[in-house]
Each structure stands twice: as structure tokens, then as C-alpha cells.
Amino acid sequence: MPVIKQLSSRLANQIAAGEVVERPASIVKELLENSLDAGADQITIDVEGGGSKLIRVRDNGCGIGKDDLSLALSRHATSKITSLDDLEAVATLGFRGEALASMSSVSRLLLTANEASSGAGWQVFAEGEEMAAEVSAASHPQGTTVEVRDLFFNTPARRKFLRTEKTEFGRIDDVVKKLSLSRFDVGFQLTHNQKTIRAMRPAHTQQEKDRRVAMVCGPAFMENSLFVDMDGRDEQGQGLRLWGWIAEPTFNRSQADMQYFYVNGRVIKDKVITHAVRQAYQDVLAHNRHAAFLLYLDIDPAAVDVNVHPTKHEVRFRDSRTVHDFLFRSIHRALAQHRPGESVGEDSAAVASAPATTVSSMPAQSSIGFADKPSGASVQQQLATYGQLHEGDKHQPATPVASHVLDSAVRSVEVNIDESDEDCPPLGYAIAQLHGIYILAENTQGLIVVDMHAAHERITYERMKQGLDADGINSQPLLVPESMAVSEKEAALAEEQSGLLLQLGLKVERAGPESLLIREVPVLLQNSDVTALIRDVLSDLVEYGSTKRVREEINEVLATMACHGSVRANRRLTIPEMNALLRDMEVTERSGQCNHGRPTWSQISLAELDKLFSRGR
């Protein structure tokens, strides 16, 4: 073995720099976090050459005193924590005291600051060498400026790994955008090669915050997003709050490139959070699509460990199961409560129990094969009913709508709707059926087009789920119990969680150190691969402390049943039947999307129609 030696300070700093200073964007992130911790409300970032030539971050924060300047460039020197108790409840973005030391070891760094509103400031310079930093006087207003020049000038091997100037600046821009969303009260200005790229003023009002979000995420995101604000408590009674914007399921992405999540103002990526959000959208989003969201979780700092990774991109929750369930419930509820003409946050119970809006001149509305409220019938009985309806659909004529039918439909409504009609329901009143597929309706905004099969499919599916919730998950004993091999850890977990598994319709017994015996399975999953399902359930319990695998599998069966039990294309509906469907959509959760994540209805405004026909008003 070679002789053990103490690493030099320079080498130790460069090793640390490999963890903290990945690329120019890493430097911008660390410096911006320091500025925010210093209480700045205006930050300017100047970049040249994609950050490899120059990164200058100037703020108007509290500044740094003369006696602290040289110490600020030392490793493990910080003003943000002083004891282990502080580390267990970190309330600042930075706390390690490694960033400036790491930067100075791989660049030419100039730190200038002033902690007073008047008088001269001071500066300190470091150039990647192990040397005593010298402090000298410098003119500077209150705040701090950090200049990082010639990044990796003394480590050419690492410089070769940098991408093109455009790519590196793009990553810097992403960092600025993410941090600008973490602090709406702070103004940010970003320039590249003396050209202003972003100029964001502090946002205090809701309108100003919406404008900043639109600048970063795009106007389309804001036009198709719901604002949520949910409160809860963890097992220790500490407050949890989730607020922000979630995109409607119809506004989805092919990549997970518009997902921003902040914990106590810190932008992070976490598998528990990702899993909770994906589960919340699971029922309204196609499997190959990704949700878009901008969410903020406020939690007791003592309940989250931010000292997990040098870049501070990851966190560890003290009680990940509680956080996971709170996120899932909050987003799931928000998506469920959003119905046509209703904003998130309204009392869904009140909406669901509210009577359907009617007009005296409207004919009595009739059912099209489903009850007005969830019945006590079992899911199997409901399936029989839907099967009969589907069978009846096959015998409906497939002729297109004739003009005299359209005239008759319009006359039967006898309602004159204008923009001042306060009694008009959100989806308006049906006026015709198009090609046996779409319902045309008129509301105060203009024209509504409804995909009748997709809409009825969602209504049927939601009522099946309500019936299942009322009846519980019925299990069925296996004629011959099935044995499955598992690890000793999985077997112990199955034995420990036998009560929870039984609630899910799974009766599982431990048959040996590494084997389980399956005795009962859910009725609706009797033809499924139950052993694979149980492995996934146990995996979820280990990873997240909870599981929704069984319910997801059952929901897939219900979705198939609902699809076959819904009105089919080319079935002729009367005006009262169309209006009955519209009223049911208005009180049904998630009625904006079918079970496959496709939209069920679309609004065409009068302004859009006027533009289409070059018509002025």
C-alpha cells in the first residue's frame, strides 16, 4: 500500500469542484442561491462565451463584511449553519460552504461586496492557486458581485467536456428560469454577450405572477392550467401546503420537460413526488404522455433532509409516505373537481349535489341508459345493463343528420341564448347531433362540440368507480391456492401487511422463509397475472409506503367495461337525451377527458367564429 498522505487544500477543492461545479450553469445556480439567501430583491447575471469566459452575478443583498471576505473563499466556511440542529432544519438554499472555494479552485474569481448602504466596499481575488487571498478596497454599493472568469483554465481536461456556447448558455437560461419561479418577489436580468435575454421585474400581484409563469412556461400553459392551493397535516400534526399550477390533462407533453417542483423554495427532483403526480394523472392521461405542472410544497424544514446530494437537487422526506399521499390526494382532488364552467377549489360535494340547471321551455330530460345517481347495484349488475345498452346501439340507423331533423331540433329548443344569460349552464343546450358522433350545443360563449361516446364513457366509468367504492373490493377464493417465490424481505413484508393486502382483495399467507401462498384475489382480476401484481404491490410498499396497484388494475377493467357500455357512434339521440348527457357532464368528475385521456368537449367562441368568417360586430 502507498503511504497515506493528507490531500493539499488545492486538490481537495478541485475534487469538491468536480461535485459542485459541473459546468457554467452549476456556478450560476450556486451564486443565485447565495444572492437569494442574502435577501436580494434584484439580481443581474452577465454571461460571456456561454459562461466559460465570464459569469458575473451582482445583487443588492446584505453584502459581506471586510473581515469575512477572505474566509468566504475558504472551504466549509458558512454563515448559514452553526450546529447540528441547524443542519437538521435548513431554511436556506445554501449551507455547505463549498461553492465559492470550489469555484476559485478552477477559475479566476473576484469577489466584491459592501454590507453598508454607503462607504467603500472591499474585494478579494483568487486564481486557482493555493495562496492567501488579499483584501483590497473597491467601490461597490450595498450587495455582492462575484466574477468567475476563464472557467477550468487550469483543468483543460474538464474544459473539453463543455458543449457549444449555445448549449451551455441554454442550460444557464434554464437555471435562471427555474430560480425565477422560486421567488416571484425578486427581479432577474440575464444578458449574454452584452445582449439582454431576460428582464423580469419583481412580481407581487397574482396577475404579475401569472405573467412571469407565462414567460417561462409559455402562454399556452397558463391558458390550460388550474391553480391549486391545498392544506394538510403530516402525522406529527405539522402543516403541509401544496399550491401552484397544474395543466389540464388535455395539455400534455411527449416529454417530462415542463415539470417544476419546489420544496420550501428549493427546486428539486424526487422519485416520491414524481410517482405521486403520475398516479394523480393516471386516470386522465394517456400512458405515453406526461403532465405539465408548476407546484410548491411548503413543509416544516425539520421534516425534510436537504443534505443528500452536493448539488442539492435531491431531498429526503422524513415521512415520505405522508408526503406522497398528500400530494396524490391534493392533485387528484383538484383534477376531479374541475368540471365545465367550474374553477378548482370549489366544493365538489356541493357541485355534485346541486340540481341540474333547466329552462322552463325545455322539454323534460330523459336518461340515455344510466341512472341519475350511482345505484347500489354491483359492478357486475351494472355491466349487464351497459351490455344491453351497447347491444341496442348496434341496431340504430347510421344515416347522417338530415336538414329537416336539424330544423326540428333547433325549433324544439326554443331558447334564445346571449352573453348576458346568467341561467345558461356551462355546456349550454343541445341544438343538433352531427353524423351520429358529436353533439352541437349553444352556450353564452358560443358553440360547444361534444364527443358523445367519449363523454358517456367517462360518466359511466366514474359511476362504476363510485359503485365500487360503495361495495368495496370483493375477493374470490382460489380453487387451488397459488404459491409464489419471493425474497425473504418481501415475504416478511407481505406477512406484516397482510391486513392491508386483504383490504385490496388479496389474501396472502406466508408459506415459508421465501414463499407466499395466494388464497384469494379480487373478483375483477381473477384472469390477471396476480403474482406479478403482488410483486408490484410489495415493491410499492417498500419504495413509497403505500400502493394503488390493485385499484389501478381494477380501474383498467372498469374502463374497458365503461367503453363497451357507453353510447356508440351513429346512435340517434333526442334533444332531451343530449341535454341529459350535457347536464351529467357538468356534475361528473374528470368529465373533460375520456378514460384514455382524450378531450370530451371543445368550446368555439363567438370571436373565433367571427374571425373564421371575417365578420365584425
- Show the beta-strand stretches assigned E in 372-423: none
Is the predicted pLDDT of residue 102 greater than 50, yes or no?
A: yes
Q: Which three cell numbers stand for residue 232?
A: 394538510
Count H helices and E strands in the chain, helices first: 21, 22
Angle at which helices 165-182 and 206-217 pack, to 10 degrees? Answer: 160
Torsion, CA 248, CA 251, CA 255, CA 256, rounded to 10? -30
Percentage, residues of the chain above pLDDT 90: 43
The residue range of the domain holding 312 is 218-337
Q: Which residue has the higher pLDDT, 75 or 434?
A: 434
pLDDT value of residue 376: 39
CA gap 101, 153 in Å, rounded: 16
Residue 268 lies in a domain: yes
Could you say which DSSP state residue 397 is in? -
Residue 348 contacts residue 332 (beta carbons within 8 Å): no
Is the predicted pLDDT of residue 406 greater than 60, yes or no?
A: no
pLDDT value of residue 28: 96
Residue 4 lies in a domain: no
Residue 2 lies in a domain: no
Specify which of 183-187, 225-229, 323-327, 417-421 reaches the highest per-range mean pLDDT.
Answer: 183-187
Contacts 24+ apart (CB under 8 A), 283-286: 283/555, 283/590, 283/595, 284/249, 284/335, 284/590, 284/592, 284/593, 284/597, 285/249, 285/252, 285/593, 285/597, 286/252, 286/596, 286/597, 286/598
Q: Which residue has the higher pLDDT, 439 or 308?
A: 439
Same domain assignment for residues 169 and 307: no
Mean pLDDT of the 285-299 span: 90
Q: Which three cell numbers stand for residue 492?
A: 416478511
Same domain assignment for residues 434 and 562: yes
Is the predicted pLDDT of residue 369 greater than 70, yes or no?
A: no
- Measuring CA to CA, which residue among 428, 460, 472, 479 is closest to residue 565? 460
Same domain assignment for residues 236 and 187: no
Same domain assignment for residues 429 and 525: yes
Specify which of 177-191, 223-237, 585-599 reaches the highest per-range mean pLDDT.
Answer: 177-191
Q: What is the pTM (predicted TM-score) of this model?
A: 0.74
Query: What is the spatial order of strands in the sheet that 429-434 belongs to?
Result: 429-434, 438-442, 446-451, 601-605
pLDDT value of residue 360: 27
User: Last residue of some domain: 337, 368, 392?
Assistant: 337
Please enumerate in sequence order all residues whose Cβ is within 8 A of that of 333, keeping only pairs 6 or more positions apart, or say none.
Answer: 230, 348
- pLDDT one-digit tens code per residue, 195-253: 999 999 999 999 999 999 999 999 999 999 999 999 987 666 578 999 999 999 888 89
- pLDDT one-digit tens code per residue, 117-160: 777 899 999 887 555 677 899 999 999 999 999 999 988 888 88
Same domain assignment for residues 326 and 432: no
- pLDDT one-digit tens code per residue, 502-518: 888 889 999 999 999 99
Q: Which residue has the higher pLDDT, 404 or 47?
A: 47
- pLDDT one-digit tens code per residue, 256-273: 999 999 999 999 888 889
pLDDT value of residue 42: 97
User: Last residue of some domain: 285, 313, 337?
Assistant: 337
- pLDDT one-digit tens code per residue, 514-547: 999 999 988 878 777 888 888 888 888 877 777 7
Which amino acid would we find at residue 43? I
Mean pLDDT of the 569-585 span: 89
- H, E, C per residue of 564-605: HCCCCCCCCCCHHHHHHHHHHHHHCCCCCECCCCCECEEEEE
SS3 at position 366: coil
- At residue 32, φ and ψ (nearest 5 deg) are -65, -40
CA gap 386, 388 in Å, rounded: 5
User: Among the listed ranges 65-69, 364-368, 552-556, 608-612, which one has the minimum average pLDDT value?
Assistant: 364-368
pLDDT value of residue 396: 40
User: What's the chain's average pLDDT?
Assistant: 81
Contacts 24+ apart (CB under 8 A), 576-579: 576/362, 576/363, 576/364, 576/365, 576/366, 577/365, 577/366, 577/367, 577/368, 578/430, 578/433, 578/439, 578/441, 578/452, 579/362, 579/365, 579/429, 579/430
Residue 40 contacts residue 186 (beta carbons within 8 Å): yes
Same domain assignment for residues 155 and 233: no
Same domain assignment for residues 463 and 547: yes
SS3 at position 82: coil
Residue 293 lies in a domain: yes
How far, in Å, are 42, 110, 148, 396 from residue 142 at the CA level?
A: 12, 16, 20, 79
Q: Which CATH number belongs to the domain containing residue 16 in this structure?
A: 3.30.565.10
Residue 504 contacts residue 474 (beta carbons within 8 Å): no
User: Last residue of some domain: 200, 231, 248?
Assistant: 200
Same domain assignment for residues 188 and 259: no
Number of separate domains in the chain: 3
Residue 211 lies in a domain: no
Distance linking the first and last C-alpha atoms of the chain: 89
pLDDT value of residue 234: 63
pLDDT value of residue 419: 60
Query: In the structure, what pLDDT confidence band is assigned to residue 346 with cuts at 50, 70 and 90?
Result: very low
Helix (H) or strand (E) holding 120: none
Residue 349 lies in a domain: no
Is the predicted pLDDT of residue 336 greater than 60, yes or no?
A: yes
Q: Which three cell numbers stand for residue 64?
A: 459581506
Same domain assignment for residues 441 and 583: yes
- Measuring CA to CA, which residue among 453, 454, 452, 450 is closest to residue 594? 454
User: Among the listed ranges 111-120, 366-375, 570-579, 602-611, which one has the minimum average pLDDT value?
Assistant: 366-375
Same domain assignment for residues 324 and 389: no
Same domain assignment for residues 189 and 222: no
Q: Which CATH number belongs to the domain containing residue 517 in this structure?
A: 3.30.1370.100
pLDDT value of residue 47: 98
Query: In the structure, what pLDDT confidence band is assigned to residue 14 with cuts at 50, 70 and 90?
Result: low
**Kind of pairing, strands 259-263 and 304-305?**
unpaired
pLDDT value of residue 61: 95
Percentage, residues of the chain above pLDDT 70: 82
Q: Which residue has the higher pLDDT, 467 or 411?
A: 467
Residue 351 lies in a domain: no
Q: Which CATH number belongs to the domain containing residue 325 in this structure?
A: 3.30.230.10
Query: In the structure, what pLDDT confidence band is assigned to residue 63 with cuts at 50, 70 and 90?
Result: very high
Residue 494 lies in a domain: yes
pLDDT value of residue 19: 67
- pLDDT one-digit tens code per residue, 457-471: 899 888 888 877 787
Same domain assignment for residues 253 and 117: no
Residue 28 contacts residue 177 (beta carbons within 8 Å): no
